[in-house]
Every structure is written in C-alpha cells, then in structure tokens.
Amino acid sequence: MKKVVSIFFLMLATWGILRARSFYLDSKNGNDLADGSTPQKAWKTLQKLNQSMSQIQPGDTIFFM
C-alpha cells in the first residue's frame, strides 16, 4: 500500500513539470499572428504577450530572443 501511495504522490508532483509549456517572443523575426509555441512561431510584441497571459500558467517559460 505504501508503494502505491508513494507512486501516486510522485506522479502528482511531476504533473506540473510535464504540463509546463514554453512560449517565445522575438521582436525582430516574430509574428503576432503566430501561437508563440516554438522559436519559429514566436510572437513579435510585448502587447501580444500581454494579450496571451490567460493561456500562460505557473511553471511555463517565456523565452525572449
């Protein structure tokens, strides 16, 4: 039983890490019509980043290129 409980808590603890996403902002080569999910689909402006804050969760990373 202890093993099952330990595995459950380990899975629960790593869930946030596994769900973490990355977003990219590139003021030179970005495009605000993109989704910001890869360096090739980076946003261009801070305004777009601010508009997209509802989809950014704790644990996510924003890369400024």
pLDDT tens track for 28-54: 999 999 999 999 999 999 999 999 998
Q: Which domain holds residue 36?
A: 20-64
Q: What is the pLDDT of residues 11-32, one digit of tens each?
A: 666 655 567 899 999 999 999 9
Domain presence at residue 8? no
Domain presence at residue 29? yes
Domain presence at residue 31? yes
If one counts the domains in the chain, the total is 1
Report pTM. Answer: 0.70
Domain presence at residue 6? no
CA distances from 54 to 19, 24, 49, 50, 51 (A): 16, 15, 10, 9, 8
Q: Which residue from 65, 44, 63, 56 is spatially nearest to 20, judged by alpha carbons?
A: 56
Domain presence at residue 11? no
